Each structure stands twice: as structure tokens, then as C-alpha cells.
Chains A and B, each alone.
Chain A
Amino acid sequence: MSTGMRSKVLTIDLSRYRYEIQDRKDLFEEWIGGVGVAVQLLKEEFGSDAANIDPLGEDNVIVFATGPFTPAYPLASKTVAFFKSPLTGNLGETHAGGRTATSIANAGYGAIVIKGVSRKPIYIVIDEDKVHFRDGRVIWGIEDSIVAGRIIAEREEGRGIRTVMRIGGGGERLVRYACVTTETYRHFGRLGLGAVFGSKKLKALVIMGRKRYTPADRKKYREVYREIFKLAVESDVMKKYHLLGTASNVLPLNELGALPTKNLTDRRFEDAEEISGEAFAEYNLGRRIACNHCPTACIHIAVLREPYEEEEYFFKTLMVSYDYELLYALGSMLGIGSRDGLLKLIHRVESYALDAISTGVCLAWATEALKRGIVTKDETIVDLEFGDVESYLKAIEFIVKQPNEFYKALARGAEEAANIYGGKEFAMCFGKNEMAGYHTGYAGYVGNLIGLRHSHLDAGGYSMDQKWKGYSPKEVVDALIKEEMWRQILSSLVVCFFARGLYTPEIVVKAFQPLGVEITEDELKKTGEKIYHEKLRLKKELGFTPESLEVPRRVFELPTPLGDLDEKYIREALDYYSEVFQRITQ
């Protein structure tokens, strides 16, 4: 098939300050783009010794990839990043919006590969066919990623058409769950891409361009574009995201008894109303903004107005982006019931550019560990206590600055810390990745275990739990894998998962046609399956085995909306998954 899309791959070698551009039509034609292509590029770069590559060493490689719908159609606003994760030691995959995807595509690329390690701090500017290596020594050490972003934005060209991806103190100091932030509020959040940037001494990546290409069928292109646009703005498919946003999940999950609270010692939070999407919308929502080339504007920005205690009539006003996962991880999970307090924590995490979910879950584990006497105040330095905003603000700083062995361990993730200090039964990690905010039942937890990213978004198991029909372990595994296979297509296109209701197989096929690509729904699904298999094989090469998967005991100590979970059920599901894994990867 002729994809008529961006198929160039830019490879940047930081060890030699060199770059080259290759046309990889072969990859984009076979694997669509995004995840499909990134898996192949990573495999090529890692070679046969993938399992022994140090995630923070010179041999780790970062791949950014976009797909054939960027920037052809709206809501194809995501970029996928692949790397070896310093948090899990296995495959790292994280997606972000902002202006990254369109900037990569408009600069003329389908994917960008970054390898090697710079001798001194640098940042990179990609302006179409040129790559500039900029001295980053002066801005290295600026721990606030918002400030670093502004400085670079002032120095560089491309206002309105560029992306500024950067790390903060978290990435510089190699916190294993540091993120890369783009356009201030969007993140390559999970699995520690920020630490990989930090290890390569790469402070930021700026990308811009005004390259263009034409569709194969001009008239039809305009028509299909308009159809997708209308679906996005006039139908209900995107409604949830543009009204209250994902924060609308707080109250329903709390009512269900599925809102992880105080390190999942509870499943309902007494202050859920206070930190609900409804309350934020009523009292704090200041603006909504959008990712580039998406009409939805799901990015909800709260206004935090803070007085200076020592100075009368002196205020600061911060703009803080919130989403459900942050309200859970830094809210209910830490027992934070005040919106202002919660916004302060989010802002602190944002400044240091850490993954909010991992940070919250790590702190929740530390709080319980202190409470149980597994660690003492000698380790935690501050009296961590559920609901205590000030202590958590300090603890977040300690995770970044790592003043003692305890915080050095905590900066490696909750499971790593629990391996040293104990308390693994309440370190809420799956495949070493800190859990998202869904204590919904079997499908959610099995999904966290078997998902290729150990992320709730791999297959949306939490949603299956909420439509539960007494599935068997085998049925759950099969359904999760099937959904994850389709999501490989969405993340190869690359469209936002929030638009999964819009980009149905039928629409995807239709959208391909004006671009000169004829593909059937069946072929699409088969490609999804193939990509899933390839990714699983890569995971195996990186050292993953299903037998290593464990479930923190805490999950079984607290009923879910489906009732008490039976460990045997999950064991059975994992045994069956092991068979599937063997079959696919042998």
C-alpha cells in the first residue's frame, strides 16, 4: 500500500553530535506509523542484546513516532515515545499531546530517533531538515520545567508552530518516573522518559516546520475531514472530555467504591465531593485549552490564587492543569481533601516534571510504611500523614533532591523502595509501574498486569469491570488482549484514545482513502494483531516474563464493586496469559 504520508526518520546521535535522515517507507507501509513503527525502530537499534542495555546508559534509545493521520485529520494529536524504561527495566511506552505530533509531522518526519549520550548538557532544535545542537549548560539545573520551557521559548523561533519538550529537576536527577513535559501541561508521563532525557544530558527538544504534502483525492479529503470534524464537535462522542473532563470520574468511582483512597486502605474518600470534577469546575476552572489540531479542549486549567502570608494584599496566581489521575494519585490516594492543597501538590509535581501517578503512589506507600513503623522519621525526614499537604510538598522535593538513602530508593519507584524496606504487600505497583486510580475489579487489575505498558489505558479493563457480566478468567484475558490489539491501531495512526469512540474501524478505513491508502477493516485488525505480537516479542527480548508478575496483597483486602477479589481467579488468568505469551513469542 502507498501511504502517501510522512515516512522519513531522523536519527540523532548525541555521542557524535551527528544526524541523518532516511526514508523508511518500508516501515511505514507495513506498520502504519506510531507504535507499529516505533517497535521496529527500537528493535533495530537495540539489536540482539536488548536485555542488557542500561536504561540510563549510552545504549538506550528514544523513538518518537507519529502516524498517517497527523496532521491530516483532527484528533490525531498524539505522539508515542518508546525507550527502555528506567522504572521497570522493560519496554517504556508513553504518549503525549500538546503540539509535539503536528510539529514532528510538519517538520517532515514520521519518526525521530535519539541515541547516544551528550558529554555536556544540551538542548536540540529541529527545524525541518536541520538539527541544531545548542549549549545547555546554563539552563541545566533549572529545576522548574515551566521556567526552562519559557527560557527556551524566548530564545528560539517558531512561535505557534513548534513544540518545546523539556525536563525539570526530576529528569535531571534521574528520578525513575520523571516525565518529559510538552507545552507546559501535556506529558510523556509514564515509565520515566524524563530520566532517560536526563541521562543523555538532554534538557529539551524543540521541533518546528512548515512542510506540506497533498492528499491523493483532494475533494474527498475535504469531505472526510469535515465529517470527522462534525463528529467531534456535534456528536456526543467527545462530550465527556470537553465538559468536566476526565475529572468527572471522581464521584462515580467514589460512589461505586472504586476510588483508591489513602494507599487503598479505603475505596471511598470522605472528601470526594470537595475534589470532584464538579467542584473544580465550579470553583477553580479558569480556562480550557486544546492540543494542536484537536477541537475538544479537554485540558482543564484551574486557577490557584494564593496570598503571601507575610505580605498583605500580595498574591500569586498559578494556572494548574488537572485530570482524573492527578486528583486520584495526589488527592484521594494521599487523603488530600482540599482543592487548594491538591492544586499545590499538582503544581509542585508539574514544576519538577514528575509522573503524577507514580509520585502519588510512592508517597502513599511511604506514608503507610511510616505509619506501620517499617521506616521511621529518620528516613522520611517529614511526618508523612494522609491529608498533610505541607509534608507532601516537602517530600516531593526530597524525591527530586534525594537527601538520604530512603528518598534515593523512593526515586526508583514504590516497588524498588519496598524491596529494600519491606511493605511490598501495600506498594501499589503492577509490573513495577505504579497503579492508576481504579479499584474496579478483575479486568482492571488483570489489565494492569498483562497490558504491554502495565497501564490502565492498555485495554481499559476498568471499563470492562463497570459492565461486568460474570466473565471467566480466560474470557477476561481474551477480551483485554483483543481490545489492546485494536488500540495498537489507534496508537499507530496515532489518534487520541479519547477519540476511540470516533475513530471506529469504519471511519479509519474511510479516512485512509483520500490519502491514497486502500485498506479493509479486516486488514486493519490483522495489522493490530501483528503489532501486538511484535511488541510482546520485544518485551520478551527485553527480559519480560509473565511468571514475574505479582499482585500487591492489598488488592485482596478491600472489596471492589464486584465484591472481594479471589487471588485464585487472578492466578488462573495469569496462567492462561502465560500460555498465550508462550504461543506468541516462541
Chain B
Amino acid sequence: MKRLVIKDIEKCVGCSLCMYACARKNAHKPEIGISSSGILAISLSGFERGATIIFCRACREPPCSEVCPTGAMSARKEGGVTFHEDLCIACGNCMKACTIEAIFMREDEKPAVCIHCGYCVEFCPHGVLGFEEVKA
């Protein structure tokens, strides 16, 4: 399957355009803001020292799915999860279970998670992100 990947982390300028792209695309309604963004760029005490971009690794055995009490975070065969918003009770278990903290809290306290759609890649101005076929 195609996945969101990091092509060159050293080129990240910290613009957060990926986050805004995700919120425009990922929500049922395109939103203005970053509430529903499933991706987060953070710096190492300032982007001049380098960046870390956090998003779902598309695990084969996603811990987030295992701790979800309602089946809202269901594991996909090819890795990663599908989020069923209507089933979610906003307990926050998934966010705690993710080892790399790649599940984010929306304004309504439900989770925001990357579904590897690749939309953000179009808006990464410096080629940091890529969307590629990855062997499972």
C-alpha cells in the first residue's frame, strides 16, 4: 500500500502546512485550524536545530486499536487503523497506548489520526514528506 513517508527530515522548515492540509482534508468538514490534524511537526528546541514529524506508523498490530473499548479504532489488514468516529466515546485510551504519541486530541477530545491518504504531501513546500508504495 501507499504510505506517507519522510523523505528528508533535515529539510523541514517548521511551516506546519502539512498539519493545516490534514485538517482541511481529514475532517468530515474541511476545517480551519489544526484540530483534526493527524500529523504534528515539532522542533528540537527551535527548528534551526532540526525537526521531528510525528504521524501514525501504520503498525501491523496497532496498540491503539487493542485498547479501544468500543471498536472505534479498528486495525486495517495492511497496517494502520480506520477510525469510526460515531463509535468513539473519547476515552483517550488510544492516545495513551501509542508509543510515539501519534494520535492527537481534537477540540472535542476525540482522536485525530493519520490515514495515509497523502494529501499533506501536495502542500509540503520543501519535499520533506513523500507518498510511496511501502512493502508491508
Which residues of chain A have a CB within 8 Å of any CB of chain B? 71-72, 74, 99, 102, 105-106, 150, 153, 159-161, 183-185, 210-215, 218, 221-222, 225, 229, 232-233, 286-297, 301, 319, 321
Q: B41 at the A/B interface (Cβ < 8 Å)?
A: yes
Q: With A and B bound together, what is the CA distance between A488 and B31 in angstroms? A: 27
Q: With A and B bound together, what is the CA distance between A288 and B20 in angstroms? A: 20
Q: With A and B bound together, what is the CA distance between A74 and B49 in angstroms? A: 24
Residue from the list B15, B30, B35, B125 in contact with A210, Cβ < 8 A: B35
Measured between C-beta atoms, what is the minimum distance from A134 to chain B in Å? 20
The 7 closest A-B pairs by CB, nearest first: A295-B125, A212-B33, A212-B35, A290-B15, A160-B42, A297-B13, A290-B13
Check A106 against B33 for contact (C-beta < 8 Å).
yes
Q: With A and B bound together, what is the CA distance between A245 and B127 in angstroms? A: 20
Check A292 against B16 for contact (C-beta < 8 Å).
yes
List B residues 22-50 near A (Cβ within 8 Å): 23-24, 27, 29-36, 40-43, 45-49
Closest B residue, CB atoms, query A232: B125
> Which residues on B sit within 8 Å (CB–CB) of A321?
48
Check A289 against B13 for contact (C-beta < 8 Å).
yes
- The B contact surface, by secondary structure, is loop
> What total of chain B residues lie within 8 Å of the partner, measured CB to CB?
33
Check A210 against B42 for contact (C-beta < 8 Å).
no
Check A301 against B48 for contact (C-beta < 8 Å).
yes
Closest B residue, CB atoms, query A70: B32
**Extra contacts besides A293-B17, A297-B15 (14): CB < 8 Å:** A74-B20, A102-B16, A105-B33, A210-B35, A211-B33, A212-B33, A213-B31, A214-B29, A293-B16, A295-B15, A297-B125, A319-B48, A319-B49, A321-B48
Q: B106 at the A/B interface (Cβ < 8 Å)?
A: yes
> Which residues on A sit within 8 Å (CB–CB) of B49?
319
Q: With A and B bound together, what is the CA distance between A153 and B14 in angstroms? A: 16
Check B126 against A297 for contact (C-beta < 8 Å).
yes
Check A229 against B123 for contact (C-beta < 8 Å).
yes
Measured between C-beta atoms, what is the minimum distance from A289 to chain B in Å? 4
Check A295 against B32 for contact (C-beta < 8 Å).
no
Contacts A/B (CB < 8 Å), 5 sampled: A106-B35, A159-B40, A183-B46, A214-B29, A289-B14
> Which residues on A sit within 8 Å (CB–CB) of B29?
214, 218
Check A212 against B107 for contact (C-beta < 8 Å).
yes
Q: With A and B bound together, what is the CA distance between A478 and B126 in angstroms? A: 41
Q: B98 at the A/B interface (Cβ < 8 Å)?
A: no
Q: B6 at the A/B interface (Cβ < 8 Å)?
A: no
> Which residues on A sit within 8 Å (CB–CB) of B40?
159-161
Q: B105 at the A/B interface (Cβ < 8 Å)?
A: yes
Check A159 against B23 for contact (C-beta < 8 Å).
no
Measured between C-beta atoms, what is the minimum distance from A428 to chain B in Å? 32
Measured between C-beta atoms, what is the minimum distance from B78 to chain A in Å? 27
